[in-house]
Amino acid sequence: MARFFLPATADPRDYQHMTEQRHHPQLQAEQARDRRTDIWAWVAVVIITLGFFIVDIVSEMTDGTYAGEPGRWQQFVLFDGSSIVVLFALFPVLLWLTRRWPLSLQDWKRIIPIYALASLIWSAIHIAGMVAIRKVLYPLIFEGLYSFNRAGGFWLEMLYEYRKDLLTFTLYLAVIYAFRHMADLRREVQTARTEARRSSRITLKSGGSTIFLDAQRVDWARAAGNYVEISAGGTVHLARISLTALDEQLQAAGTDIVRTHRSWLVNRARLREVRPTGEGDQIAILQSGEEVPVSRRYRDALAAS
């Protein structure tokens, strides 16, 4: 392994600069994108949590009025509000946890126990934080002192709080992973579009495989549920992609592609003729002799060729 030695007179900042230069030039951009994704997940959690909080306040005000206790909602605001403040403050811990130990199908047996232990620690900090806030604010707003213990005792109350915290912990993790999954999908689409523009090839996912096709060889494509059938050079490939995303890739690769139907794309270079069906629609005949439907909505776009 290569080792680097600095002269005694060297400035440590020069070494730091050399270390930064050895990083991949795209690393900072990727890290910035990851941070933006996590920030949006945090924003989503805040909006969702506050939405439920507001609905619960209104419900508590209504129930209190019916019960002849119109002011009891104020305690609810303090109790739930203190919990929410601590939850928001702890959310970056979950972001760090899921970056440090990401959950995957290959490693879930090792990661789940880590998450289970983390949920206990996270809940303990959450409970300690909200109790501290309540003990400070309760005497200032209401009469008397706040007590965490109820009729069941301390440990029963801890179990009650942990049950709720475990659900919140799991939901927050789900939000984090959902946002990261969506970000990964957008990144794949952008990467595929860039690659198509650079190499005139399209990138397709088929099962566990990745297929690279010369975009100019594509004859037609047809939507098939969550998949798309792509005919290229006499071979039909099945890929998990939307027709719109495929259209964008083909356009980026320079293929003169046109939509003839909500479920069909056709390479204009493969068209031989277009015939009317007698019902207002048309049929496109390809050079291979294959027939592709042309609906009324898209025939003007086809005629523009």
pLDDT of residue 14: 54
pTM of the model: 0.71
**By three-state DSSP, how is residue 2 classified?**
coil
CB 246 within 8 A of CB 266: no
Structure tokens at 282: 């048309």
Which residues of the chain fall short of a pLDDT of 50?
1-6, 15, 18-21
> H helices of 103-262, where?
108-141, 154-199, 243-252
pLDDT of residue 16: 53
Structure tokens at 199: 């190499």
Q: Report the alpha-carbon distance of residue 26 to residue 291 in Å, rounded.
A: 45
Phi, psi (degrees; rounded to nearest 5) at 227? -120, 170
CB atoms within 10 A of CB 195: 17
pLDDT of residue 203: 87
pLDDT of residue 69: 80
Q: Report the alpha-carbon distance of residue 239 to residue 151 in Å, rounded.
A: 60
- Rounded to the nearest 10 degrees, the angle between the axes of helix 73-100 and helix 108-141 is 150
